Structures are given as C-alpha cells and as structure tokens.
Chains A and B, each alone.
Chain A
C-alpha cells in the first residue's frame, strides 16, 4: 500500500494546481490582513477590530472555513475523474495492488491536502498578521474580549485549526465519491460547488435538524475555543464520523464495481 500512497503523493505534490491554490490561500490571508488594517484606519468607523499577529490566525479561520471547501473541490474534484478521463487510472489498476488500496491512497492524499492547506493558512496568517499588525503582547479573541498568554493562544489556535480539519475531510469525502461516480471533473466541480451552496442554504432552513448537515460542523474548531459549553462535541464528532464512514463505504462499493473503459 505504501507504494500506492507514495505514488499518489508524488503526483499531488508535483502538480501545478496544488501550488496555485496554496498561493491563493496565502494571498487571501495577506489581503484580509490588509483589509482589516485599512478598515481599522478609517476615522469614521465606530467599530474597530482589535487584532495582532498572534490573534489574526484565529480570526482568519472564520473566513477560511467558507473558502477552503471550494478551493479543495477545485483541487480534489479530479482526483479520480481526471485520471479516469485521461486514461491514467488504469495504469495503476493493472499493477499488483487492489482497488481498495488505490482508494485508500486517494483518501490519504485528500486528508494530507486538507492538512497541508490548513497548515499553509495557519503559517501564512501568522506571518502576514505579524508583519502587518505586529506580534502583540497577548492572544485575544475580539468576540469574547478574552485575553490569553501567547503559549495558550498558540495552543488554542492549533486546536481550532486541527478540529476544523475533521468536518472538511468529511465534506471532501462526498467530493471523492462524486469523483468516482461522475467520471468527469467538470461535473464534479459543478455538482460539488452546487452541493456546498445547497448545504449553506439548508443551514437556514432546517432548524433543529441542521446538526445533520456537515457544514454546520465547519465551525466546530472556532466554537470549541469560543464557547466550548455551547457545543455538543460528541454529537458533532458522531455526525462527522458518520459522513466519513458512509461516504467511504459508498466510495469503496462504487469503485470496486466501476468499469474502467477510458
């Protein structure tokens, strides 16, 4: 299996698309920092965001959870469908590895990509936040006006980013399934982004059942830090696990039976 994972990693991390999206994330981090700086500099603005370099990554996470699923759909939507279309999927499938291993390798690449992008967002927001706002004395959260020691702040930021990875991975497992099912990355992109916005709309419609939507849990990391008593962590993790489990099973079943005719 490690051969298959290594192969998938080589492909993913040597693709231009991967680096373009990494640059986009870094650029958005920088632009948002500039935007806050500009806004805070306006005299007629009654509300100013209290911010410094060590607090900026946590603040940026709020924007990141809206942005990163779409970027990941663009990057990973073709994980299987592009290779199917290009006829390169069969190159792997005629080697001495079984389809389950190929699928697990794709899943590992997907999780790694989410982790790497979250890491890029975290590091670039620390760097640009510090360059633009200065490091500051404490970590603080402007919504709750709570102050923490720098070490505590870094820990809380890491926890928030780390926990956010889980629902994003669950959402991306739906995209992986679409990538197997549709065999056309354009369709995966369209359906994936459509699904994302549909989920966002349903958030406001479903009321108490919104907990069943995966995007409800995109904020799990931030909420865990902001108001840990207000979220039911067990319920959130159960829903996330359920998404990953069900989609993983469906991916496996469809991929095993899929005829590779390209």
Chain B
C-alpha cells in the first residue's frame, strides 16, 4: 500500500535577485519517514524549509503539505505541522512554559496537560517556569522541539536540530527523534550538514548542493554497493599488485606509499589475504573500508564542501 505523502516539493525555484538559491527542487517525504535533508552550509536547506513553511515566497513550483498546497490553502496545510527553523527563538523574558502556552493557544483543543507532556518528552519539566533567557542553547533546542510538538503534529520539520549541542546533547536529541517517530508515528524532515547524523538517524536522504538535488533515496540502498574496498599495507607493493592484478574479481588497484587500495567483487575480500600469503607477500595489515555516507557524498559531489 502506498504511504501518505506528508510533504511534496515540486519544481521549487527560489531566487534572490539574479542569484538562484533553489533550482527546480523535487522531493517527497512519506508518512513515517525520518527524512534527512543533507547539504553543505549555504546549499539552500534553510531556504527550502522557509519556503515549505510559507516564510519566503518562491518564483516557481509547488509545496504540498499534508495534501494541501501552501499557497492555496495555507491554514489547512500547516495545521498538522510543527517546526523549528534555525536556532529556536523565544520570547526570552518569559518562561519556557509561557512560551509553549501562547503557541498552544493558536490551535483548537490543545489541553493544558499537553504542555506538561511535551515538557516531559524533552526533559524540560523542571526548568519550565524559569525565564528562557537563563536557558543554555541545548535547553532552547529542546524547548524548540517541545514547541514543535505542542499541537501533536503529524510532520515535524527540524532545521539543524543538533546545532550547537555537545556530543551527549546530540545523542539525546537524535534518540528523542527516533523515539517520537516510533512511538507517536511522527514523520520528521531533518536538515543537517552532518553526514553521521543522517547515517544514524534517517531512513531516507536528499542530498542538496548549490540549490540542486544531487540524490534522493533510502540511506541503506545508497550505501549498498556490489563491491568491497580494502586498504592493504605491505612493504612489497609491486609484488602484491602483480599477484592480484590479473584476477578478474579484482575491479581496481590503486597504490599508495605504504600499500594499495583494492576494490574487489562482493564476498571476495577474505580471499585476497589468502592469495597474498600463498604467494609469500608480506602483509602488515588489512583495513576493510565500509562505504559511508561521507564517501558517497564526496563521490557524488566531487568534494564535500564543509560537510562534517
């Protein structure tokens, strides 16, 4: 059965003057996805999010949220959407609780106990009565997520949700997202410039570069290759390469100063060491290289551009 489309972007084009910042962008987020929106700084991630939320106008294309075009039916389209755009902003002189309450009042039928619920979800219940200006960045990130969840949305859009957090804070936010996705069936659209974040958090990814989509797909499929890569360290590089180069299961060999990098067909890597030992080639060590999203990104973009 086809899943419900929570967000569809069709041919989105946005320019500031003559500078095109989004160029014919297309993507689809399905219900239940944790969708990673990956790109270097300045690639257009935040502009896309602003366009999706109706904060900026765009020249061409359509944005369909929950089945409604945001330009034609903004209120219905945004009704079940929660969002944190860039660093979450608050009315700093008021408490965290007050900030949530005034936003909850924009929706029908959000009970007061929901405020306590979302505060508990993000672990902010003990500091909720204090003024936001006393909060750390991590606490503001959490409160921002709480605010995005206040009206029990079906789709939550988060713009760099782990920005400025320490490793422990990043881990907690990621776990929170996964937990909410599983337990409350919330669909997430998460922009990030962190490849590792997409790998551990997202089931789908769209890679953006200079406002253009480079790739979109299921993360696992993108990383699934029909070959394996090994780095082999040996003092006898030439001899080792001579042993292997004629083997038709070897795809490529590239030497470096202390050894060589070899690409072989899937399932053949373990036989490589055996061949070398049988031919009396001394092997110092062998490092299998798993394809990471970083490798994939660099492969796709021919250079990562500030991707961490």
A residues with CB within 8 A of B:
3-4, 6-7, 10-11, 14, 86-88, 90-98, 257, 259-261
How many chain B residues touch A (Cβ–Cβ < 8 Å)? 26
Q: List 6 A-B contacts (CB under 8 A).
A: A7-B106, A86-B89, A91-B89, A95-B103, A96-B106, A257-B57
The CA of A91 and the CA of B87, in the complex, are separated in Å by 12
Contact A259–B55 (Cβ < 8 Å): yes
The CA of A92 and the CA of B102, in the complex, are separated in Å by 10
The CA of A4 and the CA of B105, in the complex, are separated in Å by 9
Contact B89–A88 (Cβ < 8 Å): yes
- Please judge, given known A-B contacts A11-B91, A87-B86, A98-B75, whether A93 and B54 are in contact too, CB under 8 Å: yes
Set of chain A residues within 8 Å of B90, measured between Cβ atoms: 88
The CA of A92 and the CA of B103, in the complex, are separated in Å by 8
Contact A97–B106 (Cβ < 8 Å): yes
- Majority secondary structure of chain B interface residues (helix, strand, loop or mixed): loop
B residues with CB within 8 A of A:
50, 53-57, 74-76, 78-79, 81, 83, 85-87, 89-91, 94, 102-103, 105-107, 147
Closest-by-CB residue of A relative to B58 is A259
Set of chain A residues within 8 Å of B57, measured between Cβ atoms: 257, 259
- Please judge, given known A-B contacts A257-B57, A260-B55, whether A95 and B78 are in contact too, CB under 8 Å: yes
The CA of A4 and the CA of B50, in the complex, are separated in Å by 21
Set of chain A residues within 8 Å of B102, measured between Cβ atoms: 7, 10
Closest-by-CB residue of B relative to A101 is B75
Looking at B57, B75, B90, B106, the one whose CB has the most chain A CB atoms below 10 A away is: B106
Selected contact of B53 from candidates A14, A88, A94, CB within 8 Å: A94
A27 CB to nearest chain B CB (Å): 24
- Please judge, given known A-B contacts A7-B106, A98-B74, A259-B55, whether A90 and B85 are in contact too, CB under 8 Å: yes
- Please judge, given known A-B contacts A98-B74, A260-B55, whether A3 and B91 are in contact too, CB under 8 Å: no
Set of chain A residues within 8 Å of B83, measured between Cβ atoms: 94
A105 CB to nearest chain B CB (Å): 11
Set of chain B residues within 8 Å of A90, measured between Cβ atoms: 53, 55, 85, 89
The CA of A98 and the CA of B72, in the complex, are separated in Å by 11
Contact B75–A97 (Cβ < 8 Å): yes
Selected contact of B79 from candidates A11, A86, A96, A260, CB within 8 Å: A96
Contact A96–B78 (Cβ < 8 Å): yes
Set of chain A residues within 8 Å of B86, measured between Cβ atoms: 87
Closest-by-CB residue of B relative to A16 is B93
